[in-house]
Structures are given as structure tokens and as C-alpha cells.
């Protein structure tokens, strides 16, 4: 990380439901939505290093009104050589892991679509608090997507998503969704229990996050370098093993789906680092397949944003 990297905004809360907590705001000026490219991950690292260790909690928020984070930088996934991509993915894992290492509770404030790497960084927090879709022009709010769409592009998650989502919702459904690349809508995610709480208005979102932090603070666990909730934890390991055994045969007959199953299996057998290693090696390999090349090219043909 360069010393010249500008940190993101940090707001410290001296009052409110959780005095002493901080909010880190993901921001990418000049872009319509936040995308996790290398420069933003550098800024996240610089910012998290500035968070005081005596904070009472952390809210990870987004400045984008349209989405929490639209995804990882698909151009990097397509264009970096293999060694560069491995370093990019490993660096992202290292920075996201900082959220899971703080000695106080952390929460992601999901104010809109959270896809791919955007959901993965959120799931490194201890909880997800969502904003209910907001009405516009007198019409009800449109449910936004939350999920891991990578397998729909014939690639796979690269920052632990395959082992994170099944620990936050029904494990079998989490594996199916990841292996098919089919995100949940807000309503489906809420019904599935993905969110620890839901705020009804944008003005309430930060207070609801702080209220959750205040309630969680007395029970913050001893950190071990892995996210609080993933399939290898004692509370979810047995049910995740059973879910993987039950759904493996019904997953799509694709290399991407098999990579998801292997990553879940690797994590259950070898721990969090093994889960990450399996995902990242699969992603490096899969992005070269004809199916992935065609799917990613088609994505860029429809969109100039480069989000995945």
C-alpha cells in the first residue's frame, strides 16, 4: 500500500445508540455505483488502519444511492495475468479480513444492491442491516438484488462467498444460489434471514446499525482471523456438510458450480484459508474457459460499467 493512498471518510459517533462507534463510507467519486477495484481496496485498507482500536463498533456504509457495492472489478478479472489476479484476490482477502479482526462488532449497512464482491465484503462484517426498498414517484420501492452472480458468468466467487452465504441463510439454498449465480431479491433475502434487521427509511439506517452494535458489543467473540459467520463454524459445520451432500447432485452441470461445491468442501475440511484458496484458484482458471470468455464479453457488450 502506498503512503499516498487517500483514506475514505470515517465518522465517529459521540452520541446515538452506540457512542464511540465509527462509520466508514465506501466512496468512488465520478462513478455511478461503487465497484471494488484495486485502488478502492487500497483506500479501504488505509482507512481501516486508521480506525481506533477503542471504538465500540463499526458500520460499513456506501455513498452510492443506487447500490451498496455493485461488485468486484470485472475488467481486472478478465485482463490481469494469472499471477497478478492471484495477488489481487489475495490482497482483497487480506483487507476484507481486517473487518473480521476488529475487537468490536461490525455491521454492513446495505442501502441497495449488494452483488459479488460487494456482498462478500459485507459478509466479512458480523451482521448485515438492510434498507427497505424506497418508494419513488408514488410507486412502491423495487426490490433490489443481493447475491453472488459470478457463476452466471461461468466464473466463481473469489473472496469467500461460497462459504459465507450458506452460513447466513439456509445452507442448501445458499449453495444452490451461489452455484447457479442467481441473486436473491430484497424480499427473498429478508425472508431467508440474511439481514439481522431492516430499516424502513434512509434516515433510520445508521441508527438501526448502531442499535445492533450496542446490543452485540457485550458478546463480541474472540477473533481468529475468519469472518464470524461462515460454514466452517461449529454452529453451522454439521448442517453445511449435510446440505452439500444433499444438493451436490442437483447443482448445475457446469465447471463454475463444481468450483463452488469444491470450495465449500475445502473449507469444511481444511478451514477458512483452504476455502479461500480453493475459490481463488478456481477463479483464476475459470476465467480462461470459453464459456467465461463468452459470458464476460457479452456482459461488457451490454454494459460499460465493468462490474461483476
Cα dist. 116→18, 36, 306 in Å?
Answer: 30, 10, 12
- Distance of alpha carbon 79 from its chain centroid, rounded? 22
Cα 307 to its chain centre, rounded Å, is: 14
* List 45, 79, 120, 200, catalytic entry: 120
Q: Establish if 258 belongs to a structural domain.
A: yes
Residue 191 pLDDT: 98
120 is catalytic: yes
pLDDT at 2: 43
C-alpha cell at 139: 410507486
Give the domain extent around 120. Answer: 9-302
Q: What CA dihedral angle connects 150, 151, 152 and 158, to 10 degrees?
A: 10
Percent helix, strand, coil in the chain, to 5, is: 50, 15, 35
pLDDT for 307 equals 47
Q: Point out the residues of the chain with pLDDT beneath 70.
A: 1-3, 304-308
- Identify any residues that bridge with 67 across adjacent strands, giving them in sequence order: 113
The total domain count for the chain is: 1
Does residue 308 belong to any structural domain of this protein?
A: no
How far apart are alpha carbons 12 and 15 in whole angstroms?
9
In this structure, the number of other CB atoms found within 10 A of the CB of residue 9 comes to 12
- Would 143 be classed as within a structural domain? yes
In a domain, residue 4? The reply is no
Query: What's the pLDDT at 304?
Result: 58
The C-alpha cell that represents 182 in the structure block:
442467481
Q: How many residues does the chain have?
A: 308
Q: What are 136's three cell numbers?
A: 419513488
Residue 23, CB half-sphere, CA atoms under 13 Å: how many? 21
Residues 227, 232, 238, 241, CA torsion sign: positive
Task: Report yes or no on 293 lying in a domain.
Answer: yes
Closest by Cα among 245, 62, 71 to 152: 71
Residue 2 placed within a domain: no
pLDDT for 3 equals 56
45, 79, 150, 200: the catalytic one is: 150
The DSSP H or E segment spanning 285 is helix 272-286
Closest CA to 24 of 5, 2, 52, 1: 52
- From the number of C-beta atoms within 10 Å of its C-beta (0-12, 13-18, 19+), residue 220 rates as middle
End-to-end Cα separation, the chain, in angstroms: 24
DSSP 149-199: -GGGGT---SSSHHHHHHHHS-HHHHHHHHHHT-PEEHHHHHHHT--SEEE
Global pTM reads 0.96
Known catalytic residue at 150: yes
Spatial distance between the Cα atoms of 122 and 59, rounded to a whole number of angstroms? 10
Distance, in Å, from the CA atom of 183 to the CA atom of 67, rounded to the nearest integer, reads: 14
Instruction: Kindly report the CATH number assigned to the domain that includes residue 94.
Output: 3.90.226.10
Amino acid at each position: 500500500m502506498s503512503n499516498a493512498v487517500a483514506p475514505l471518510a470515517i465518522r465517529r459517533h459521540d452520541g446515538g445508540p452506540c457512542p464511540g462507534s465509527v462509520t466508514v463510507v465506501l466512496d468512488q467519486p465520478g462513478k455511478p455505483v461503487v465497484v471494488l477495484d484495486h485502488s478502492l481496496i487500497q483506500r479501504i485498507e488505509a482507512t481501516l488502519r486508521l480506525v481506533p482500536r477503542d471504538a465500540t463498533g463499526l458500520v460499513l456504509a456506501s455513498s452510492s444511492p443506487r447500490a451498496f457495492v455493485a461488485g468486484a472489478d470485472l475488467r481486472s478479472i478478465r485482463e490481469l495475468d494469472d499471477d497478478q489476479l492471484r495477488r489481487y484476490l489475495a490482497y482483497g482477502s487480506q483487507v476484507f479480513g481486517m473487518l473480521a479482526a476488529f475487537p468490536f462488532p461490525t455491521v454492513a449497512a446495505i442501502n441497495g444492491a449488494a452483488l459479488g464482491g460487494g456482498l462478500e465484503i459485507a459478509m466479512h462484517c458480523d451482521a448485515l442491516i438492510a434498507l427497505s426498498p424506497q418508494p419513488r414517484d408514488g410507486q412502491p420501492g423495487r426490490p433490489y438484488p443481493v447475491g453472488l452472480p459470478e457463476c452466471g458468468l461461468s466464473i466463481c466467487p473469489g473472496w469467500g462467498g461460497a462459504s459465507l452465504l450458506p452460513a447466513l441463510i439456509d445452507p442448501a439454498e445458499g449453495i444452490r444460489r451461489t452455484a447457479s449465480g442467481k441473486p436473491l431479491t430484497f424480499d427473498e433475502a429478508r425472508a431467508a434471514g440474511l439481514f439481522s434487521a431492516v430499516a424502513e427509511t434512509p434516515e433510520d439506517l445508521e441508527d438501526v446499525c448502531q442499535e445492533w452494535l450496542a446490543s452485540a458489543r457485550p458478546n463480541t467473540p474472540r477473533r481468529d482471523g475468519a469472518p464470524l459467520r461462515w460454514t466452517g463454524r461449529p454452529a453451522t459445520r454439521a448442517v453445511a456438510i449435510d446440505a452439500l451432500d444433499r444438493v451436490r447432485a442437483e447443482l448445475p452441470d457446469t465447471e463454475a458450480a463444481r468450483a463452488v461445491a469444491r470450495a465449500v468442501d475445502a473449507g469444511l475440511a481444511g478451514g477458512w484459508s483452504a476455502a479461500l484458496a480453493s475459490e481463488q484458484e478456481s477463479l483464476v482458471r475459470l476465467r480462461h474457459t470459453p464459456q467465461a470468455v463468452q459470458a464476460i464479453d457479452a456482459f461488457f457488450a451490454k454494459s460499460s460499467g465493468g462490474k461483476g
